């Protein structure tokens, strides 16, 4: 009987989510990030058994610079060669940043300490086409000081029932937020002020960051009070308005292990 071997890798993946229906493979949509990655892995594996598991199921239109994958291959490939080989076959808007060997017991989901997301937005009323698909233009002036107060409230353990879309078996809807702030971007040199929500948490529910960004905007224009926001986080019930921010401003930045 032929002996089989498995070689386990941890990959850091980046992608622009604009043209994809999210990370996860779907029967009705072939254009997902997972489909493209698995096709390349299948070629590299010479169509033998392989496996790809992602740490985060980003939604349609969401971007990533720090998605983490556990990849199991039937043959050994040096990490640098794996990175170069995959990037030569992947689309230009999906690229591997780094590959490394990892132990077989590595659990890409349970072993993570926290995830960090950024949501990029501007309040400049004239949109700049150069970053239209990665930054959202909010159409009104915002009270950024009030938004930062709400960010401070978010730090800690809360009930996010009214800030997500729970799945069929969601388990607890409590999540712990480690850091949360509104920052001003300094890496774009265009003549536009870009801000972003920086949020780190031990885990996130579906659409949770987008609903939180929407709530922060509502607070920033006076449509949602800090009192109602705090009460919602305490008991999970909906107080005040609910706005879900568009996908295009959301970026998965880092997953720490």
Report residue 127 as tokens: 């949109």
What span, in angstroms and rounded, lies between the C-alpha atoms of 62 and 75? 32
User: Active site residue: 59, 93, 111, 228, which one?
Assistant: 59
What span, in angstroms and rounded, lies between the C-alpha atoms of 71 and 5? 14
User: Which has the closest alpha carbon to 196: 175, 217, 176?
Assistant: 217
Q: What is the number of alpha carbons within 13 Å of residue 222 lying toward its C-beta?
A: 2
As a whole number of angstroms, the longest Cα–Cα distance in the chain is 70
Q: Given the structure tokens 């970053």, which residue do they identify?
A: 131
What span, in angstroms and rounded, lies between the C-alpha atoms of 14 and 34? 12
Residue 59 annotated to the active site: yes
Q: Using an 8 Å Cβ cutoff, are 229 and 215 in contact?
A: yes
**Phi, psi angles (nearest 5°) of residue 158:** -140, 165
Beta bridge partners of 198: 118, 181
Report residue 236 as tokens: 């999970």
Q: Hey, which residues are catalytic here?
A: 59
């Amino acid at each position: 009987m032929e002996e089989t071997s498995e070689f386990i890798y941890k990959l850091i993946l980046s992608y622009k989510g604009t043209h994809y229906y999210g990370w996860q493979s779907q029967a009705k949509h072939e254009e997902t990030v997972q489909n493209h990655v698995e096709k390349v892995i299948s070629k590299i594996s010479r169509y033998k058994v392989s496996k790809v598991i992602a740490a985060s199921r980003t939604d349609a239109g969401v971007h990533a610079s720090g998605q983490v994958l556990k990849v199991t291959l039937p043959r050994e490939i040096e990490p640098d060669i794996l990175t170069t080989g995959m990037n030569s076959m992947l689309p230009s808007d999906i690229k591997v940043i780094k590959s490394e060997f990892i132990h077989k017991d590595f659990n890409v989901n349970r072993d993570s300490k926290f995830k960090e997301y950024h949501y990029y937005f501007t309040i400049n009323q004239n949109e700049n086409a150069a970053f239209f698909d990665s930054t959202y233009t909010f159409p009104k002036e915002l009270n950024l000081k009030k938004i930062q107060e709400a960010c401070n409230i978010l730090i800690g353990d809360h009930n996010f029932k009214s800030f997500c879309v729970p799945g069929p078996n969601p388990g607890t809807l409590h999540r712990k937020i480690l850091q949360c702030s509104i920052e001003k971007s300094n890496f774009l040199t265009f003549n536009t002020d870009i801000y972003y929500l920086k949020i780190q948490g031990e885990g996130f529910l579906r659409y949770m960051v987008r609903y939180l960004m929407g709530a922060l905007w509502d607070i920033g224009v006076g449509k949602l009070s800090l009192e109602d926001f705090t009460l919602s986080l305490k008991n999970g019930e909906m107080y005040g308005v609910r706005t879900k921010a568009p996908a295009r401003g959301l970026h998965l930045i880092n997953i720490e292990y």
